[in-house]
Structure 1
Amino acid sequence: MSTAMPFAADTPLLSEVIAAVKTAGTTLRDRYTPHARGVSLDGIVAEIHANDDAVLDVLREPLLRARQGSQWAEDELAGGALPPGEWWVVDPAEGNINHVHGMEDWAVTATLVRDNKPVLTVVHLPLTGDTYTAVAGGGAHLNGHPLKVSAKTDLDAALIGTGQARPGEDERVFRQIGDSVTAMLINGLVVRVSVPATMQLIHVAAGRMDAFWQFSDVRSGLVAGALLVAEAGGTVTDLAGEPWSTAGHDFLAAAPGIHADALKVLAPIA
């Protein structure tokens, strides 16, 4: 997750991004209800889109203004490499499905991606007020306090997570998810399967969980957590063991002490 541009050049941007994401978080919090909204699929989708639209209305312009010349990655479910340059990869309601169902695992995320590598990120949890931040080369923090990944070295003692990246994946991906969960249930201690990815990756960065993997190239669900974990001392690769970027088709972020063993379990399934 290194960048050719010095850490000091990106740091001044952080306060503006935090302010913008917190303001967007207030909008999303005001839309939250502790009960589920929408019964039919059409109703649920309408609620999800309404959340996205409301948050983007207050988030897009401040971010683009904060970084002159940056561009906006429009489709939050898109994957694959971006064109060269600086792009904002944003999830206005990361865990939108949870928000709509009255659950508490959701956040607002904004990540600056430079030449397909995340270099600055803010993840804000409006219900708790917690804000996770990272700048490439500057470490990862929770409310200003440094984060450090788990020191575990034994996969059989590990709490590991995965989840579905998007609705409607093809059957091959669903079978990979099922097979990989079974393999990790055999080799790890406990496997947590939930959405969204970012809400598990913040736990990996904080050392509460030990690894997270996903068969996905959805940028918006991975870039924030990838930078947080890397800057907290974790190892972030694809399932071939190569350094991860937005061009990757799958993903593993883990404490260094268990990364190699996790990769041995997952690589044959990828």
Structure 2
Amino acid sequence: MPETLEAASDAELLDRTALAVRLAGSALRERFGEVARYQTREELMRALAANDDRALDILRPRLTHLRPRAGWVEDELDGGALPPGEWWVVDPAEGNINHLHALPEWAVTATLVRDNRPVLTAVHLPMTGDTYTALTGAGAHLDGRPLNVAPTTDLGLSIVATSQARPDEKDDVVRRVGSSVTAMFFDALVVRTAVPATLHLLDVAAGRIDAFWQFAGARADLLPGTLLVTEAGGRISDAEGRPWTPRSESFLAAAPGIHTQAVATLTR
């Protein structure tokens, strides 16, 4: 077990957090392969929980030991603001449904939030071995290499993406998502739709795609990517261009050169 780092710098905490998500990712990769078969929602939920529990068995003791006074967000689908202080916001199997279907797009994430602001995050992609990290004021990195958002200035030349925030979303949110996708089909070059949100946000931070938006959403979906995109030079807001908070009903991350255009499309 790593030493407690209550007096450590955030940079030291980030190194230990990155190690924790890599260890949890290795454990989940051992479970990856065959498509999980289920006939009922209850069977699906048990399969999802088994993956979560396997990763949490590794993450929870390590992260709690690093910051014993930090709170722990139990449900990765929760949204809204957190109480004051430090909190670990963890998604033990981001894109869990993809893992169960033998699709490679899944990750393990851990973010330390301080007074509702993410201060450090680590995202590990076990199928590629990549680890993305960000620290407030110190930039965003992929395995130590700096990340920068795209220099794009024309939405019409942009690849953009969106994601389904959660199953069984409210009817009005589903309709809003549908209309936004239609609008982006008209205005952007290419529109991608897939889960999980975090992987799209990694692509925005790395300059591979130019914008990501989502309606509704959970803290664990958005906080890691929020810090990564911001530290890589991108802009974060809600879909109407207002400052984003965990209470917001929409989310937009974009290269600065197309942010205003993306807002105009999403509010048309």
Corresponding residue for residue 29 of structure 1: 29
| CA deviation after TM superposition for structure 1 residue 240, in Å | 2.9
Equivalents in 2 of 1:39, 1:126: separation in Å?
28
Cα distance in 1 for residues equivalent to 2:216 and 2:34 = 30
Give yes or no for contact 1:116–1:247 (8 Å, CA) kept in 2: no
Q: What TM-score do you get using the length of structure 1 for normalisation?
A: 0.94
State how far apart, in whole Å, the 1-side matches of 2:215 and 2:165 are: 8
Which residue in 2 is equivalent to 1:159?
Answer: 159
Conserved? CA contact 1:217–1:247, under 8 Å: no
SS in 2 for 1:253: strand
1:180-259 correspondence to structure 2 within 5 Å: 180-259=180-259
Asked if the contact 2:166/2:217 (under 8 Å) is kept, the reply is no
* Distance in 2 (alpha carbons) for counterparts of 1:161 and 1:112: 26
Deviation, 1:163, is 1.1
1:83-140, CA deviations, whole angstroms, 9 ceiling, x for partnerless residues? 0111111000000010001100000000011111111000001111100000010000
SS in structure 2 at match of 1:251? strand
**Equivalent position of 2:38 in the other structure:** 38
The separation in 2 between residues aligned to 1:141 and 1:47, in whole angstroms, is: 32
> How far apart in 1 are the matches of 2:194 and 2:213?
12
Tell me how many residue pairs correspond in the alignment: 261
Counterpart-to-counterpart distance in 1, 2:267 and 2:64:
38
Q: Who is 1:51 aligned against?
A: 51
Counterpart residue type for residue 166 of structure 2: R
Q: Is the Cα contact below 8 Å between 1:37 and 1:47 reproduced in 2?
A: no
1:75 to partner: Cα distance: 1.1
Matches within 5 A, 1:46-195: 46-195=46-195
How many Å apart are 1:224 and its aligned residue? 0.5
- Look up the SS of the partner of 2:74 in the other structure: coil
Deviation at 1:247, TM superposition (A): 2.3
Contact 2:156 2:188 in 1 (8 A): yes
C-alpha distance in 2, partners of 1:64/1:119?
16
Gapped regions of structure 2 (runs ≥ 5): 1-7
Distance 2:34 2:139 in 1: 35
8 A Cα contact 1:139 1:146, kept in partner: yes
Moved runs in structure 1, 4+ residues, more than 6 A?
Answer: none
User: Contact 1:34–1:103 at 8 Å: present in 2 too?
Assistant: no
What TM-score results when the alignment is normalised by the length of structure 2?
Answer: 0.94
Deviation at 1:34, TM superposition (A): 4.3
Residues 156-187 of structure 1: per-residue CA shift (max 9 Å, x gap):
00100001110011111100110000000001
What whole-Å deviation, never above 9, does each CA across 1:233-266 have from its counterpart, x for those lacking one?
Answer: 0001112322222222210000000001001111
- Structure 2 Cα separation of the partners of residues 198 and 107 of structure 1: 8
Per the alignment, residue 3 of structure 1 pairs with none
Q: CA deviation at 1:41?
A: 2.9
* RMSD (Å) for aligned C-alpha atoms: 1.3
Equivalent residues of 2:150, 2:206 under 8 A apart: yes
Q: Percent identity?
A: 56
